[in-house]
Amino acid sequence: MLSNRQISLIGAPVDIGAGRRGVDMGPSALRHAGLRDRLLSLGYSVIDEGNVNAPLAETLPTPAANDKLRYLEPLRSFFAALAEKVSDVAQAGRFPLIMGGDHSLSLGSINGSAKNGNKFRKLGVIWIDAHGDFNTHETTLTGNIHGMPLAALAGLGTPSLTHLMGVCPVINARSIALVGVRDLDPLEKVLLREAGVNVFTMHDIDRHGMDAIMNRALDLCSEGNDGLHVSFDMDVLDPREVPGVGTPVPAGITLREAHLAMELVHTHGNLLSMDLVEINPILDSNNLTAKVAVELIASALGETIF
């Protein structure tokens, strides 16, 4: 928890959960953008734990074109290793900040944050993303597992993912809030409605404003839980703000709206862990996207304008 002012940076350089290569360089981009120094300037003690070893596509057989769970076994092993690392950090009393990497890694980061020794904490999850990531192998259009982690955390999909640490579901679907979503697959919409996930689309943000939406999301996900995990996908921002993202979608939130969302996370309190994902330096300009990500992480961890 943030009250002890101790943060552990954990790199999760995985990209085989996605359809486009390059986000494995995200942790390096964040380090190069000065994340550690920025957190030190806010008064935190910071330990860089290095990277959890991630599988490389070049060392693995190419999945079949009709594979609905691409790279399932190597990814599952990676998620389990990441979960154990995050759990160890959390039990040592440090705040886990996980640097991605594609969004499939949240299966590991959130399982790890929830795991507390032989017990599991009850977490609420704020999932800030252009996409729902609520597909299963039965609904996916691509077979890419970065489109499935949130569904698996809620107990939907293949047992290899839903029972990663032996507990299913890890998160109650009604303790999940999707914020900024604007690109959902047809059957994914059905699953989200049936599961009872709190979905706040760009339409909702346009109508009611980020302040109202985030406060509502934070309240819903905090009720009856031990704390919050925030999973921030950089593609929630408009691509004109951040060109270096794995799966860009037009008409996203502004940089100022993103800062407000993160500032509200901090003022609400009870943040237990966070991951930030989908920075693709190959597509970026002068590491701009990673620099923006550092700014947003700082806002989530207490930096203010005045």
Q: Which residues are marked as active site?
A: 103, 129, 131, 133, 146, 233, 235, 278
With tokens 């920075």, the residue in question is 279
Query: 45 forms bridges with which residues in the sheet?
Result: 6
**What contacts 300, CB < 8 A, 6 or more positions away?**
230, 232, 262, 263, 265, 266, 271, 274
Please count the residues of the chain: 306
Per-position DSSP letters for 20-44, written without gaps between them:
SS-GGGHHHHHHHTTHHHHHHHTT-
For 93, 110, 111, 116, 264, the CA distances from 270, given in Å and listed in that order, are 14, 15, 17, 16, 12
- List all residues 6 or more positions away from 17 whose beta carbon is below 8 Å from its beta carbon: 70, 71, 75, 102, 103, 104, 105, 144, 145, 146
Q: What are phi and psi of 63, to 5 degrees?
A: -65, 155
